[in-house]
C-alpha cells in the first residue's frame, strides 16, 4: 500500500505538509494554495472539500477515503476559505486569483499610461482590486469597520492617482523607458498607505502573540507593526518584476524611432508579466509563516 493510500485514522489534516520554518517549505505551501487552477473549481467541489476537512478534524471520514483525497480537499479549502472564519471567500479576492487578476491589470497599467484619463482609470481599478484582496484576506481577530475600509480605499486610490499623475507630468520630456516606471511608483506608494490603513486596528490594539507550542502569551503592537511592514515589502516585491521589467518600446522600421503600442508590444508585455507573476509564492514566502489553527 502506497503512502497516499495509507490509513487516515491518525491523519492530522491541519499539520503543515511542508516545514514552514524553511523558505523552501513555505514556497511549496504557497504554490499549493495559490494554484490559479483552483479558481475554476466548481462550488460543489469546494463545499465537498470543506466537509472533508471538517470531518477529518473530528476524526470521522467516509470509509475508503485516501490520504491523497484529504490533501486535495485541504488544498481547495485553504485556497477558497478564510483561515480564521471558515467562510468561503469571493473569487476575485482569493490569493489564487492574484496571478490572472494581477497580470491583466498590470498589463493595462503598463500599456495605457500616457494619457491622464487612462492613468486615473487603471490606478483606480488596481486599487479597487487591492482593496478587495485586503478585505477578503483580512485578519478576522482584528475586525475592520466599514469606515476604516472606506478611508483606506480612498486614501490608497488618491495616493496612487496623485503619484501617477505627478510623475507622469514630470516624465513627459523624459525617455519613454522612464515613463513606464510610473505605474510601479504609484503602486508602491499606494501599498505603503493602503495596507497600514486597512489594518490600523492591529496597530492600535496589537495582535495575538503565541509561543512555539501555539500558546497565547499576549497582545503586541510591535509585532503588528513588524508584520504589516513585511506585508508591504512583500506586496511591492511582488509588483516589481512585472512592472519594472516590461519595457518593450516598439520601433518603426523606417524611422528607427520608438512608436506607440502595438500588438507585438502587447504580446511581449503579456508574456513577461505572466512569467514574472508566477514566483508570487516565492515572494510571499520571504518571512516565516504559521498556518492558522482551526
pLDDT, mean of residues 86-101: 88
Do the Cβ atoms of 237 and 203 come closer than 8 Å? no
Residues 6+ apart with CB under 8 A from 256: none
- Whether residue 210 is predicted with pLDDT greater than 70 in this model: the reply is yes
- How sure is the predictor about 158, in pLDDT bands with cuts at 50, 70 and 90? confident
How much of the chain exceeds pLDDT 70, in percent? 73
Q: Dihedral (C-alpha) 15, 17, 23, 27: value to the nearest 10 degrees?
A: -120
What residues does each domain of the chain span? Answer: 11-80, 95-284
Can you give the pLDDT at residue 46? 94
pLDDT at 244: 61
Under DSSP, the state recorded for 220 is E
The strand pairing partners of 251, in sequence order, are 258
Q: Which three cell numbers stand for residue 247?
A: 519595457
Q: Among candidates 37, 51, 125, which has minimal Cα distance to 86?
A: 51
Which pLDDT score, from 0 to 100, does residue 255 have? 43
Reduced 3-state DSSP string for 99-162:
HHHHHHHHHHHHHCCCCHHHHHHHHHHHHHHHHHHHHHCCCCCCCCCHHHHHHHHHHHHHHHHH
pLDDT number for residue 40: 92
Q: 3-state class of 236 per DSSP? A: helix
The position carrying cell 475586525 is 143
Which position has the higher pLDDT, 6 or 58?
A: 58
Report the relative pairing of strands 216-220 and 250-252 from DSSP bridges: unpaired
Amino acid at each position: 500500500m502506497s503512502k497516499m493510500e495509507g490509513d487516515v485514522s491518525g491523519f492530522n489534516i491541519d499539520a503543515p505538509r511542508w516545514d514552514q520554518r524553511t523558505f523552501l517549505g513555505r514556497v511549496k505551501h504557497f504554490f499549493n494554495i495559490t494554484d490559479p487552477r483552483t479558481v475554476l473549481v466548481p462550488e460543489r467541489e469546494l463545499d465537498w472539500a470543506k466537509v472533508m476537512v471538517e470531518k477529518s478534524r473530528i476524526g470521522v471520514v467516509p470509509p475508503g477515503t485516501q490520504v491523497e483525497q484529504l490533501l486535495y480537499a485541504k488544498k481547495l479549502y485553504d485556497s477558497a476559505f478564510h483561515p480564521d472564519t471558515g467562510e468561503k471567500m469571493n473569487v476575485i479576492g482569493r490569493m489564487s486569483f492574484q496571478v490572472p487578476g494581477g497580470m491583466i491589470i498590470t498589463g493595462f497599467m503598463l500599456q495605457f499610461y500616457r494619457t491622464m484619463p487612462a492613468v486615473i482609470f487603471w490606478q483606480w481599478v488596481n486599487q479597487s482590486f487591492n482593496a478587495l484582496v485586503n478585505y477578503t484576506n483580512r485578519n478576522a481577530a482584528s475586525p475592520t469597520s466599514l469606515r476604516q475600509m472606506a478611508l483606506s480605499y480612498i486614501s490608497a486610490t488618491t495616493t496612487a492617482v496623485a503619484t501617477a499623475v505627478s510623475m507622469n507630468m514630470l516624465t513627459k520630456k523624459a525617455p519613454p523607458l522612464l515613463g513606464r516606471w510610473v505605474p510601479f511608483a504609484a503602486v508602491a506608494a499606494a501599498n505603503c498607505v493602503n495596507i497600514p490603513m486597512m489594518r490600523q486596528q492591529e496597530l492600535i490594539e496589537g495582535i495575538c502573540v503565541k509561543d512555539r507550542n501555539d500558546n497565547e502569551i499576549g497582545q503586541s503592537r510591535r509585532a503588528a507593526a513588524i508584520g504589516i511592514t513585511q506585508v508591504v515589502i512583500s506586496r511591492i516585491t511582488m509588483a516589481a518584476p512585472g512592472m519594472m521589467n516590461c519595457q518593450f518600446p516598439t520601433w518603426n522600421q523606417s524611422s528607427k524611432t520608438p512608436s506607440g503600442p502595438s500588438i507585438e508590444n502587447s504580446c511581449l508585455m503579456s508574456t513577461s508579466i505572466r512569467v514574472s507573476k508566477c514566483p508570487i509564492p516565492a515572494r510571499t514566502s520571504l518571512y516565516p509563516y504559521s498556518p492558522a489553527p482551526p
